[in-house]
Amino acid sequence: MSEIYDIGYRHYDGPRLGRGYSTRALAVHSLRGVFGLGRPARSKIVPFALATIMLVPAVVSIAIMALARQPGIPYSGFAVIMQAVIAIFLAAQAPTVVAPDLRYRVLPLYLSRPVSIAEYVGAKVTAMTVAVFALVATPLTVMYVGELVVDLPGPPATGEYLGSMVTALLLALLLSAFGLALASFTPRRGLGVASVITVYLLASASVPIIYASMAVTGNEEAAAWAWLMNPFWLVDSVQSWLFGTPPHSIEGGYPSGPASAAILVVLIGAAVAALALRYRKAAAQ
């Protein structure tokens, strides 16, 4: 004979906020994780230390403007100059966005609710993009405010500042998509960090070698395409095309802007697609 026991379960009678709210909540949770918010103090050391390092050149630039009465670090070249710090931030924090869900196999729990693979990936990429954009945009804004306060001769470089902010967003999207895609192929955070930083180092080290090898044969026009192998110079090429800023490659000069923009779009799409395929496979396991 069967018996019925009341074990205290209660029906949920509150508002049903829908898939959009779930996706936004996941993005906010991931963004907090990037900066170690809501986690132990040691999780905050790396992101906030790197953010502080990013602010140091901005302060130096303001000091130059105030003392020498001349422009400091150019807004358009700031990301290229600080690319090593940005790459370390990406390598250190991207695995914190994707590795725990893979390591603890909680992805099926997320997808058991009305959250699709596309929404899950979108939330993760959005969170990392906002984090990288904030890392770059904050010192740019500090420099711009400093320029307004110092009041240098002539009009402020508002156009270059706004262009650099758009460029920072494009760079953040490209780096985040690729960084998360690389980090998602292993549930171990250490291996994720190593994979991201290794790809960046290979891209950075190979560009001058390839450029020099092609330039020494007299093929300067083809050699210029080598700069686009580095994501920072690729986005700088797009910036030069869109806003007319000078190139910040070592030798100077990029291929035509529309081609750089097309490559940027293709790379972002490929990285997001790879990330979606990786999570689709992980969800099926």
Give me the percent of the chain exceeding a pLDDT of 90.
53
Q: Which two tokens mark 19?
A: 């898939």
Name every residue whose Cβ is closer than 8 Å to that of residue 205 and which is 6 or more positions away in sequence: none
Task: Over range 226-242, report the average pLDDT.
Answer: 91
Cβ 83 vs Cβ 74: under 8 Å: no
Alpha-carbon dihedral angle through residues 227, 229, 235, 240, given to the nearest 10 degrees: 20
Confidence of residue 256 (pLDDT cuts 50, 70, 90): low
Q: What is the pLDDT of residue 102?
A: 74
pLDDT digits (tens, 9 = 90+) for 174-225: 999 999 999 988 878 888 889 899 999 888 888 888 888 887 787 777 778 8
- In degrees, to the nearest 5, what angle opens at C-alpha 84 toward C-alphas 83 and 87? 85
pLDDT digits (tens, 9 = 90+) for 130-164: 999 999 999 999 999 999 999 888 899 999 999 99
pLDDT digits (tens, 9 = 90+) for 60-94: 999 999 999 898 999 999 999 999 999 999 999 99
Cβ 188 vs Cβ 104: under 8 Å: no
